[in-house]
Structure 1
């Protein structure tokens, strides 16, 4: 308990991964439902188990599951009955996985060529050469161990040690550690855990994101929350991404009604625009004649009359001169000369 507490104090953090590895004997207590890690042979007596060299792993693991712990946890147990731990779990928002050397209620091989630890070392070495600096998941690690023919009789198992509705089915990623920056070495490593969680949901164009889109989104969100003093940001968790559910019949009917309404509005607007254009054209084409009569020049007969307004008086005068006698002379005797 003391070692686990010191380990958490020295290495915990919102961006850290705590790895606990144990190889040795283990016994599962069915009555009390806990895994007991035990010593093998008592060096003093030469036989039997030492009564004091026992550890209730469930109690020790409870410290790692405490809500004050911020980092993700990977426990690797190369011991018999290690998968029996999955009979109990605790809700959490972190990643907490158990890589077990054997299935439930099963034992595993002793140290040597066929041991789980030997296969673990070889698998890690192979994946490191294949991925180089790129990370690989614990799922790939467990898969690589089980491919090993030496482990065909007792395949290893990967379990999640948390039970949460927000569990995203994503596994822990492993990669070589990068050297720490000089300005971060002496910074305090223990930080308070989050007291609240904000859940956001984004409606995406596609059902999934590629690696480039994920990197762009994480960098953009990190910049958006760069000023941690404003919102007190402690950590960002990728919960899940899943396709949107199909729309219901009611939503489909509502969508059709919305489209019909918008189409009617569009047609009504078009009719209003055409009526406005017609009214404007009539106003431009109207001609005001003497006497206050307004005649629409768009009428064919009126248009012809308008076009011949300048030539018709002359033609009419010629017609009258040819068919009627001239008017009689006007007498000046009726005029009064005011000068006389």
Structure 2
């Protein structure tokens, strides 16, 4: 150890030295925090820590304790690309990146109605949920509603959700609804089966009150979709949670539902393999990961599904507003400065116009480093020397040639099927009364993915 430190002192660059495997040194550059390393052969330089192994002599630069090569690999997930870009833009433009307030509403059944086999497990999981979200993430976990049958459970649930919106709604806030209990499927008329929350497996026969111990989820969540201004995350730990109806929308806000299982499937009860336990384990793991937070919902879903033993039901993430913009919620501990930064951002002039550009790339994917550098340089260019009065820059969508080609093939297949249907009309007449010119133009559009100027036409159904 002493000889290593002597070598450090003799170097003109006091932070460059090669150390044999297993050696222990301390980084002692003036003004920097002392750190201790023990590993294979490595070098410490002004550019960071570099590692050399016997099998690979090329140095790997570290970035915040993570191999830089990780950040140079292509980002495969569209949601991850969007998150990396927008987080970098927010940092450069001093835009608040996080929620001002996050409030959790816990929904469960009254003790007298709850399945006695699950009550103790539910108690423990709800307690841990409040500890993790309250103490680690600093979310407000004070709200809880117990459904009973003195009134219709549907009315109690609807009111609890409306009260939660009334108390914690806001453009810079996140509302979380967590339900634990039974779930079943209910068919109403000719409509698809709906998710029904229930106290027990036979709650419709409940005799402990004047009303059955059931409530329809899609009725209760309607205000979350149509009234709330905040982003919303629903966590459903019940069977058939993936059968929650697909939403409709088009707003810029985000509402996602993380279901314990896919449509028509059942899930585990309280215990080491329950949805709640797996969710909290993943949150705690990602919270201490150097690459996190914020924790993007797609990464949370993937972490839950990939780290669990085989045979467990995979969780399902639903876009309840059906936005199709690729934007996902991000979870991170609430920061004290977020409110102040939000107030400063709101004092800026409102959005008056939007410019949409199209970047044609020579590669299918970009690395995290490339995306972050792009975001930083683009933001800097807008500020100076261009002096563009910009509020924010949003990553809307990335498309590669394979995806676009497949969409055109799908559109052509659809057109051909429709043509066959028209030809199969009994009297031989076509149900398509469009003019020949319109028909010919439509067919030309489908068959030719480029217009006469050599530019890609708008995506079907998404023209600007």
Into which bin does the TM-score normalised by the smaller protein fall? Answer: 0.5 to 0.7
How far apart, in 2, do the equivalents of 1:181 and 1:250 lie? 50
Counterpart among 27, 30, 43 of residue 184 in structure 2: 27
TM-score (norm 1): 0.56
Counterpart among 235, 242, 248 of residue 90 in structure 1: 248
| Cα offset, 1:237, TM superposition | 6.0
1:206-225 alignment runs, 5 A limit: 206=361, 210-214=371-375, 224=389
How far apart, in 2, do the equivalents of 1:71 and 1:135 lie? 18
1:218/1:38 Cα in 2 relative to 1: closer, same or farther (>3 Å)? farther
The answer to whether the Cα contact below 8 Å between 1:114 and 1:151 also exists between their aligned partners in 2 is: no
> Which residue does 1:163 correspond to in 2?
322
> Which residue does 1:331 correspond to in 2?
none
How far apart, in 2, do the equivalents of 1:181 and 1:103 lie? 35
Q: Which moved more, 1:71-80 or 1:202-211?
A: 202-211
1:249/1:123 Cα in 2 relative to 1: closer, same or farther (>3 Å)? closer
How far apart, in 2, do the equivalents of 1:141 and 1:73 lie? 16
> Which residue does 1:76 correspond to in 2?
235
> Which residue does 1:105 correspond to in 2?
264
1:14/1:200 Cα in 2 relative to 1: closer, same or farther (>3 Å)? farther
| Cα offset, 1:107, TM superposition | 0.8
Counterpart among 187, 192, 198 of residue 38 in structure 1: 198
TM-score (norm 2): 0.42
> Which residue does 1:275 correspond to in 2?
none
How far apart, in 1, do the equivalents of 2:379 and 2:212 lie? 49
> Which residue does 1:297 correspond to in 2?
none
How far apart, in 1, do the equivalents of 2:318 and 2:338 lie? 34
> Which residue does 1:200 correspond to in 2?
355
2:307 is the alignment partner of 1:148:
yes
Structure 2, unaligned runs of 5 or more = 1-157, 344-349, 406-448, 456-464
1:101/1:213 Cα in 2 relative to 1: closer, same or farther (>3 Å)? same
2:329 is the alignment partner of 1:172:
yes
Q: Secondary structure at the match of 2:258?
A: strand
1:15/1:163 Cα in 2 relative to 1: closer, same or farther (>3 Å)? same
> Which residue does 1:62 correspond to in 2?
222
| Cα offset, 1:79, TM superposition | 0.4
The answer to whether the Cα contact below 8 Å between 2:175 and 2:233 also exists between their aligned partners in 1 is: yes
Kindly report the root-mean-square deviation, in angstroms, between the aligned alpha carbons of the 2 structures. 3.9
* Structure index of larger Rg: 1
The answer to whether the Cα contact below 8 Å between 2:197 and 2:217 also exists between their aligned partners in 1 is: yes
Larger relative strand fraction: 2
How far apart, in 1, do the equivalents of 2:329 and 2:339 lie? 27
Structure 1, unaligned runs of 5 or more = 188-193, 227-234, 254-340
Q: Secondary structure at the match of 1:110?
A: coil
How far apart, in 1, do the equivalents of 2:219 and 2:393 lie? 29
How far apart, in 2, do the equivalents of 1:63 and 1:145 lie? 29
